[in-house]
Amino acid sequence: MKFYVLTLFTDMIKDGLSHSIIKRACDEGIISIETIDIRDFAKNKHRHVDDYPYGGGAGMVMQAQPVYDAYMSIKHKLSENCPVVYMTPQGKTFDQRKAESLSKLEDMVILCGHYEGIDERVIEEIVTDEVSIGDFVLTGGELAAMTVIDAVARLIPGVLNKEESFMDESFTDNLLEYPQYTRPAEFMGRKVPDVLLSGHHKNIEKWRKEQAYERTLKKRPDLLSKK
Ligand code: 6GU
């Protein structure tokens, strides 16, 4: 899958996604992440891409033209149904289901805004989806874009190895993960539950299921009503 990110902070995206599993997936060519610097499409000599809002008010607004030109510079590489996702707290809240549906695509474009927002006309012209990562406000869309890319990429076949993908079931079945332990068998007087040392696989499986259910009930009861 190919991810194209339109942003004023290309380094933030590149740096943030050049570690661990996502780095390996890029190196192996399973995914690619291309950043497009919106500022490269500014037409003035100071490379400004923002201006004062019509009607007044605080802050600056990103201009339509550089965003549009940045998008047009990659348009020829995109698949026919390639979505253009604008990261904004006004969008629909991102969740595992959205990650799953995006992971089945050939490519996607992510548009990151800054300042007080982007001129509405270019949003109307190019954006197909508006996505938020939760009810709070970030200084820009980049951290949200990285979140989406990470969550989508790990669902693409080959990105996770067998062991890594084992963790997968977690949110897919709306249950939280059971607690995990490793050596030593006792830490600060706290013992690993006996059943995990018993070697009795049936009992271990049963215990883990109960723990997953109990934890979900305690920490995220809202997930159980979805189930
Ligand atoms: Cl997608 N962008 C910004 N700027 N803030 C956010 C967000 C996105 N999602 C939650 N807060």
pLDDT digits (tens, 9 = 90+) for 148-202: 999 999 999 999 998 888 665 556 688 999 999 999 999 999 999 999 999 999 9
Mean pLDDT, rounded, for 200-214: 97
Residue 137 CA to residue 166 CA, distance in Å, equals 33
138 within ligand 1 shell (Cβ under 6 A): yes
118 within ligand 1 shell (Cβ under 6 A): no
Residue indicated by tokens 């009930």 = 217
pLDDT digits (tens, 9 = 90+) for 28-49: 999 999 999 999 999 999 999 9
Whether the CB-CB separation of 211 and 179 falls below 8 Å is answered with yes
132 within ligand 1 shell (Cβ under 6 A): yes
Q: Looking at ligand 1, which residue's alpha carbon is closest to its atom 8?
A: 88
Residue 168: other Cβ atoms inside 10 A: 12
The reply to whether the predicted model has a pTM over 0.85 is: yes
Mean pLDDT, rounded, for 11-17: 98
Query: What local confidence, expressed as pLDDT, does residue 100 receive?
Result: 97
Per cent of the chain over pLDDT 90 is 92
One-letter amino acid at 116 equals E
Mean pLDDT, rounded, for 66-83: 98
pLDDT digits (tens, 9 = 90+) for 89-116: 999 999 999 999 999 999 999 999 987 8
Whether the CB-CB separation of 111 and 67 falls below 8 Å is answered with yes
Could you write out the DSSP letters of every residue in 91-149? EEEP-HHHHHHHHTSSEEEEEE--TT-B-HHHHHHH--EEEESSSS--SSSHHHHHHHH
| For residue 184, cis peptide bond before it (omega within 30 degrees of 0) | yes
Query: What local confidence, expressed as pLDDT, does residue 163 receive?
Result: 83
Question: Which of 133, 163, 137 lies closest to 145, judged by CA?
Answer: 133
C-alpha of residue 82 to centroid of ligand 1, in Å: 21
Q: Token digits for 196?
A: 């995990």
The separation between CA 47 and the C-alpha centre of its own chain, rounded to angstroms, equals 29
Whether the CB-CB separation of 75 and 100 falls below 8 Å is answered with no
